[in-house]
Chain A
Amino acid sequence: MAIFNFFSKKNPDSGNEPAETRQGLEKTRTGFFEKLGRALLGKSTVDAAFLDELEEILLTSDVGVETTVEIIQRLEQRVARDKYIDKSSLPAFLAEEVAALMPDPMAPVNSDFSLAGAPKPYVILVVGVNGVGKTTTIGKLAARFAAEGKKVVLGAADTFRAAAVDQLTIWKERTGAEIVSMGMNADPASVAFETVKKGLESGADVVIIDTAGRLHNKVGLMNELAKIRRVIQKFMEQAPHEVLLVIDATTGQNAYEQAREFTQATQVNALAVTKLDGTARGGVVIGVSHTFGLPVKYIGLGEKAADLKPFHKADFLDAIFNHENQKS
């Protein structure tokens, strides 16, 4: 069951997107509330048995022990204080709690990929462990920005994984973006530098830099990321404006370690959660978002470029905690 049951009816994206999103999550949409409903069946109030079941629901969604315990404790406190919480007020309460845990997206809130108010070029550095979908996310981002008429420059700074440059080049051809590529085994920092330089010189709106996947406990590789950041800053002081940590929605508690190490090395300021379609859970993102104060900015719901969606917290919570939506 996905805690990230989400469909964006208030989403200002193109007309049929909310429906597509819903379809993408068809399998998982009803999960959270179905279980919650079952747990509450025949009960008029919150009792110990219900709290146990809620704990199970949260834990099996990868929310993690600490965040789960925190949510449950708050609920217990509320029950003790109000003496009584009935079923109908529970969803609203849970929504409040989770909303309080997750920070709001940072500016520019590019829910429409318009980059309104963003510096030019807006530099995005994409980081993450191996296989989370960095290059694919970049391809989709490029497509979405390009569809808004933005000029995109891609930087192929994953010079390590076999054929990563080729993969990004194919996305370049699909989206009409420009690309800076120095081939395999080139110094990633100099690719990043040249990419930002090209972005500035060619008057691009957005620069997106791909990096090689790396496990966060490899000191040398993490230092390389820090170097990429420093080198970019030599050229453009405020850049990278967005350091996007890509997290696979199926990741378990290791996501905490990933967030900690990547944040330390590159000052991550936004999260993208990929592979949320299917049976993905993604509950760990609530805890990660909370612990490190990192907003979720994008979610990936499928293979197509349009399946990369901006994340709307209100819609997300609405989708999880609102009965009406669950039934519709």
Chain B
Amino acid sequence: MFDNLQHKLDKALKSLKGQGRINDLNVADTVKEIRRALISADVHFKVAKDFTDKVLEDARGQNVIRSVSPGQLLTKIVHDNLVDILGGQKSDIHLSGSPAVILIAGLQGSGKTTFTGKLGRWLKAQGRNPLLVAADVYRPAAREQLKVLGSAVEAAVYSEDQNQNAVQIAENAIKYAKANNYNVVVIDTAGRLTVDKAMMDEIAAVKKAVNPAEILFVVDSMTGQDAVNTAKAFHDVLNFTGVVLTKLDGDTRGGAALSIKSVVQKPIKFVSTGEKPDALDVFYPDRMAGRILGMGDVVSLVERAQATIDAEEAEKLSRKIARNNFDFEDFLAQLQQIKKMGNVKDLLGMLPGVGSQIKDLDVDDKAFKGIEALIQSMTPQERTRPELLNASRKQRIAAGSGSTVQELNKLLTQFNQMRQMMKMMKNKRFPGMMPGMKR
């Protein structure tokens, strides 16, 4: 992928150092860099252009403080502007009406049905009694899919398997909801292209028939330049009230979020971040801004670490470190926890400043495998007391793990260095895990 913005800016702004003040002349190239970086993050061309004009305005005349690199300063200006545009405060979902109706719309494959299931779960957690409505009458087995999702989140699903009329189904569903005390109705609709007039007419008719409190436009966060047109076309027909960004658990930069927000001025209400029914989040503008800029997402890293690393284990480990008997068993357990968090390069990339440095580096997850194999070829005694390892033991371990004695020696050296470091940190309060992992 393209390297991140700060890296580019630092390069472009090398000439700027010591010039004291940002002016039109010295940032012209930089602005072009910012624009290209945004486009590489899938921000729409015109949106990027307007955006950089605004950034230029804010940057003009700013003093370049000695302690801050011009690249850092500009990146901050860009970041702040992004957060600003992406929407300052969080926007709640409106659930007025009895029942409150939420209409779900979007292109094919954007994740409407999956989101509908997740929203059902979310609404239940809010103490609501939702009814999910299967009004996608076109895609084979779409109704089946919603039924399965509904039962997984224990939300009721309304479906008329033989009825091919989405408007009727929606109307009947609301009657059914009124009769059976469901207070929120979520209507899943078929994916449609904006150029398909008949289909756009259909969803307009559904809207007219059910008078929704919320119309949520579901969009794949990996969408490119077309996001602007699609959002605009749906907005023209539906005047939707909010946006849902899906598949944000991928590594997309998600520039589409900025494009859509700029063009339709509607809040992003939810982000969808995984395959499980609970992988639904409210939207944080600052995290999204950091992501678009490739600035490193420390918050997500910490959250991911917290989600996967066993707190109890961490506590046990920090006690062991304090007593200075960190051994290969602990090391192995750590490796396995890190692996649970996902791709190592992704994890490193989330650290600020690391992103650009490792862009060309091929971090091999299999590197861990070799280390694991070596440790697993040790006896339990050897793992707890590495000093036992003599030449013949080393040879046995190397052969057993399909490795070499050199590799094993390398590992031992690293391990001892680690132990040394931990010893040094012993006196400071260091709550577990590897250096720098958690603070």
Q: Which residue from chain A places its CB closest to the CB of B220 in the assembled complex?
A: A131
Q: Which residue from chain B places its CB closest to the CB of A25 in the assembled complex?
A: B195
Interchain pairs with CB closer than 8 A, number: 158
State whether A129 touches B250 (Cβ < 8 A).
Answer: yes
Interface string of A113-140 (1 = CB under 8 A from B): 0000000000000000111110010010
User: For the complex, what is the distance from the CA of A170 to the CA of B138, rounded to whole Å?
Assistant: 12
State whether A132 touches B194 (Cβ < 8 A).
Answer: no
User: For the complex, what is the distance from the CA of A126 to the CA of B246, rounded to whole Å?
Assistant: 22
User: Is B193's CB within 8 Å of the partner chain A?
Assistant: yes
Within 8 A of B (CB), among A277-311: 277-281, 283-284, 303
User: Is B16's CB within 8 Å of the partner chain A?
Assistant: no
| Of the residues A59, A129, A166, A218, contact of B45 by C-beta under 8 Å | A59
Within 8 A of B (CB), among A224-258: 248, 250-257
State whether A279 touches B193 (Cβ < 8 A).
Answer: yes
User: Is A105's CB within 8 Å of the partner chain B?
Assistant: no
User: Is B437's CB within 8 Å of the partner chain A?
Assistant: no
User: For the complex, what is the distance from the CA of A66 to the CA of B8, rounded to whole Å?
Assistant: 14
User: Which range contains the number of B residues in contact with the other chain?
Assistant: 35 or more
A32 cross-chain contacts in B, Cβ below 8 A: none
Within 8 A of A (CB), among B103-162: 107-111, 113, 117, 138-142, 144-149, 152
Which of A10-18, A41-49, A143-151, A156-164 is found at the contact surface with chain B?
Answer: A156-164
| Of the residues A60, A251, A253, A281, contact of B2 by C-beta under 8 Å | A253
State whether B2 touches A252 (Cβ < 8 A).
Answer: no
| Of the residues A132, A170, A217, A281, contact of B346 by C-beta under 8 Å | A217
User: Is B44's CB within 8 Å of the partner chain A?
Assistant: yes
B225 cross-chain contacts in A, Cβ below 8 A: 59-62, 252, 281, 283
Give the shortest distance, in Å, between A143 (CB) and chain B (any CB): 12
User: Is A275's CB within 8 Å of the partner chain B?
Assistant: yes
User: Is A215's CB within 8 Å of the partner chain B?
Assistant: yes
User: Is A171's CB within 8 Å of the partner chain B?
Assistant: yes
State whether B108 touches A133 (Cβ < 8 A).
Answer: yes
Give the shortest distance, in Å, between A222 (CB) and chain B (any CB): 9
Give the shortest distance, in Å, between A65 (CB) and chain B (any CB): 5
User: Is A199's CB within 8 Å of the partner chain B?
Assistant: no
Q: Which residue from chain A places its CB closest to the CB of B45 in the assembled complex?
A: A60
User: Is A107's CB within 8 Å of the partner chain B?
Assistant: no
Give the shortest distance, in Å, between B111 (CB) and chain A (any CB): 6
User: For the complex, what is the distance from the CA of A62 to the CA of B228, rounded to whole Å?
Assistant: 12
User: For the complex, what is the distance from the CA of A46 to the CA of B357, rounded to whole Å?
Assistant: 39
Query: Mind listing 23 A-B residue pairs with CB under 8 Å?
Result: A60-B44, A62-B42, A62-B224, A129-B250, A130-B111, A162-B149, A162-B152, A163-B141, A163-B142, A171-B140, A215-B251, A219-B342, A219-B365, A250-B220, A250-B226, A251-B222, A252-B42, A253-B41, A253-B224, A254-B251, A277-B195, A279-B194, A279-B230
Chain A residues engaging chain B, CB cutoff 8 angstroms: 27, 56, 59-62, 64-66, 129-133, 136, 139, 160-164, 166-167, 169-171, 184, 215-219, 248, 250-257, 275, 277-281, 283-284, 303
